[in-house]
Amino acid sequence: MSAEPQTETREHALELWRQMRRIRLFEEKCAELYSAQKIRGFLHLYIGEEAVAVGTLQAITADDAIVAAYREHGHALVRGVPMPALMAELYGKAEGCSGGRGGSMHFFDAKRRFYGGYAIVAGGLPVAVGLALADKLRGLSRVTACYFGDGSIAEGEFHESMNLASLWQLPVLFICENNFYAMGTALDRHQAQLDLVLKARGYGVAAQSVDGMDVRAVERAAREAADRVRQGKAPFFLECKTYRFRAHSMYDPELYREKSEVEAWKKRDPVLTYAASLRQSGVLDADTERNLEQSLSRELDDAVRFAEQGTWEPETSLTRFVHAEKEAPQ
Amino acid sequence: MSAPGATTYREALRAAHREALQRDPRVFVMGEDVGRYGGAYAVTRGLLAEFGPERIRDTPLSESVFVGAGIGAAIGGMRPIVEVMTCNFALLALDQIVNNAATLRHMSGGQLGVPLVIRMATGAGRQVAAQHSHSFEGWFAHIPGIKVLVPATLEDARGMLWTALQDPDPVLICEHATLYNASGELAPNAGAVEIDRAAIRRAGQDLSVITYGGSLAKVLAAAAELDREGISAEVLDLRTLRPLDDRTILESVRRTRRALIVDEGWRSGSISAEISARLMESGFFDLDAPVARVCSLEVPVPYPHHLEEACLPQVEGIVRAAKESLGHG
Ligand SMILES: Cc1ncc(C[n+]2csc(CCOP(=O)(O)OP(=O)(O)O)c2C)c(N)n1
């Protein structure tokens, strides 16, 4: 049933690598720019979790909607929100994807149906349920992909959303990015039931767990899950077990976990292990790799330049966008 | 029960819902018990039979998700009307109302509008004790990004919903629970009303009594009593708590030179405090007396009838405050 063969073409295999690598480079640059104080505020990096966004979004079409949390750089990049617009947003420039008003945690691109950017833990889940409800009421056969961390599962909104999506059979693909920590609180210190799949099943939502460090496995699981959402017009819960290699945010001294644990997970780095397998099978040769790296690095430089040259929105327009504007202001 | 030829506030609201559902296929109603039960305040009674369960949707007791789903559906191209039983329970959905509905347009740089209407009952007076009697509309009026409507009359009950649905941004409609049975004549052609202006419900020269929603009838009764004693009170119905119609308030006070605000919310940090502050800022030199207020006592609303009455603004207290303001203490 799932579209397995698509993962087998050389282009597609390379594309998965390119997208993961692109997120990684983008975010390493973010960390650097943060240290240089070009980027401020909260910055939550996705490094280590790239296979989740890249794998799952292979199953999501341009027609589908995406709702993400505050660790959403990767999702926005894979969705096709232009990198310069993302970088400008991080700088707070008017050319940013949210006009500079959102920053790292609030990427939006309505045209691409990229609906957030939610920084209240679990706050995006009800909205995703509503987007799916709108599709159902309008007779549209689309999926809403909703991303959240394991921390969300402790919030009431998670449970309300599971129940309603199941009760009304709404086409939401719930994607739990289980990186085993909610800030500094390990999963086994915030959940009584550690098998997250059971939670969804408890609401009658079909659910599956997948190794979130293996992009192919994630893609396979996501295609199957998205097919089930589309065909059954019912929600699905996909748990991706993953790990963030960096601190929770740039403010986090990481007092809550051992370096050795992080190092052990880094051996399963989704970008490195996948690249190694591609090299081994001859899909990724040295030339191809060099060309791809060069084009990514050019893209990144262009994005930084774009952000640097972006404009600060004048304070006179500060109170815009509180309500809809009747006519364009001058 | 309404007299022959008369309409209740509830019926006026229901007619507004029916009209909205007929006029716009994107409109649907969702909330706890809006369907089979007919609505906790019977506003939506009969609509399920008429429009079916797709458009009149009973939800679980999950305020946060059904308000949030209203937001998502609005973003997704629908025009949801979400009924929250009372503003007391709306606190469970505060995250969605404040952090999402009110915020998304700004945070997205103007990309995401949320054309959502949330209706809820508010206010005390029915001996249902604290957790069903509070008035939080003034709190909601604190939040940029939403509008807060408080229909006090049949015309507004009939007309505000459609206007709210035309609004590209989230609108809260807070209906005082004691008004649902209020009845009177309503023109058969009554329809959409403007929501951006306060209304002078009674003209007068000696002082301006500023109020809204469930307190309007009490203020009008107080004005009638004052009239018998030779005091002419102007009665101003705010109709919208956010945005406040400063102009109408200031013009009235400029004429009467005295202001009394009657608000069923608690005095501290209330909408009446805000209005008073604005009068200080912009109307200070027009005033011949300090701005006066009649609010609820600062206690959770009690259950016994006499204590509840004592807690809320009443005609007698309004009359007394008006006279004090005029120096006839
Ligand atoms: C309602 C709420 N409470 C607390 C916070 C502070 N906070 C931000 S992120 C976070 C941890 C969330 O962890 P998880 O959902 O697992 O996502 P991850 O950061 O691991 O991607 C917390 C507690 C918040 N943003 N929202």
Check whether B145 has a pLDDT greater than 90.
yes
B-contacting residues in A 92-151 (Cβ below 8 Å): 96-102, 106, 108-111, 115-118, 120, 123, 125-135, 137-138, 144
Expressed in angstroms and rounded, the spacing between residue A103 Cα and the centre of ligand 1 is: 17
Check whether B287 has a pLDDT greater than 70.
yes
Answer yes or no: are the C-beta atoms of A210 and A5 closer than 8 Å.
Answer: no
Check whether B211 has a pLDDT greater than 60.
yes
Output the average pLDDT for chain B: 96
Contacts of B38 (CB under 8 A, 6+ apart): B44, B45, B46, B48
Q: Do A164 and B62 touch (CB under 8 A)?
A: yes
pLDDT mean for each 10 residues of chain A (330 residues): 58 97 98 96 96 98 98 98 98 96 96 96 97 97 97 96 98 98 94 96 98 98 98 95 96 93 98 97 96 98 98 91 74
3-class SS of residue B13: helix
What pLDDT is recorded for position B213?
98
What pLDDT is recorded for position A2?
43
Torsions phi, psi of A324, nearest 5?
-60, 145
User: How far lies B105's CA from each of B119, B181, B183, B298, in Å?
Assistant: 21, 37, 39, 35
Ligand 1 atom showing the smallest separation from residue A120 Cα: 26
**Residues in chain A, overall count:** 330
User: How far lies A70's CA from each of A44, A117, A147, A233, B240, in Å?
Assistant: 7, 5, 10, 27, 35
Instruction: Residue A239: name the closest of A202, A181, A204, A197 by CA.
Output: A197
Name the CA dihedral angle for B272, B278, B282, B288, rounded to a multiple of 10 degrees.
30
What pLDDT is recorded for position B233?
98
Q: Cα–Cα distance between A131 and A140 in angstroms, integer?
A: 11
Q: Cα–Cα distance between B111 and A273 in angstroms, integer?
A: 39
Share above pLDDT 70 across residues of chain B, in percent, rounded to a whole number? 98
Name the CA dihedral angle for B300, B302, B305, B307, rounded to a multiple of 10 degrees.
-70
ipTM above 0.90, yes or no: no
Q: CA of A163 to nearest chain B CA: how many angstroms apart? A: 9
Please, what's the b/e burial string for A230-252 (b: 16 or more CB within 10 A of its CB; e: otherwise)?
A: beeebbbbbbbbbbbbbbbbbee
What pLDDT is recorded for position A3?
45
Q: Cα–Cα distance between B288 and A304 in angstroms, integer?
A: 61
Torsions phi, psi of B85, nearest 5?
-50, -55
pTM, entire model: 0.92
Check whether B194 has a pLDDT greater than 90.
no
Check whether B35 has a pLDDT greater than 50.
yes
What pLDDT is recorded for position A251?
86
Ligand 1 atom showing the smallest separation from residue A49 Cα: 21
Q: Tell me how far apart the terminal alpha carbons of chain B are, to the nearest angstrom.
A: 40
β pairing state of B199-202 and B207-211? unpaired
Predicted confidence band at B329 (pLDDT cuts at 50, 70, 90)? low
Check whether B3 has a pLDDT greater than 80.
no
Best of A121, A199, A249 for a ligand 1 pocket test (most atoms within 8 Å of beta carbon): A121
Q: Cα–Cα distance between A135 and A144 in angstroms, integer?
A: 9
User: How far lies A4's CA from each of A12, A218, A238, A273, B202, in Å?
Assistant: 11, 12, 17, 20, 74
Mutation site, A121, A137, A313, A320, interface B, largest B CB count within 10 A: A137
Q: Cα–Cα distance between A49 and A4 in angstroms, integer?
A: 22
Contacts of B104 (CB under 8 A, 6+ apart): A108, A116, B71, B75, B112, B113, B114
What pLDDT is recorded for position A308?
98
Active site (annotated) includes residue B83: no
Ligand 1 atom showing the smallest separation from residue A152 Cα: 15
Quickly list H helices, chain B.
9-23, 47-51, 63-75, 87-90, 94, 104-107, 137-140, 154-166, 216-228, 246-256, 271-283, 305-311, 315-325
Share above pLDDT 90 across residues of chain B, in percent, rounded to a whole number? 92
- Compute the average pLDDT of residues B7-29: 98
Active site (annotated) includes residue B175: no
Q: Do A108 and B168 touch (CB under 8 A)?
A: no
Torsions phi, psi of B173, nearest 5?
-115, 115
Tokens of B32: 């706890």
What pLDDT is recorded for position A7?
47
Condensed to tens digits (0 to 9), the pLDDT of residues B306-326 reads 999 999 999 999 999 999 999
What pLDDT is recorded for position B188?
84
Check whether B25 has a pLDDT greater than 60.
yes
Q: Do A98 and B107 touch (CB under 8 A)?
A: yes
What pLDDT is recorded for position A327?
61
Ligand 1, atom 12: closest residue by C-alpha: A182
Answer yes or no: are the C-beta atoms of B214 and B121 closer than 8 Å.
Answer: no
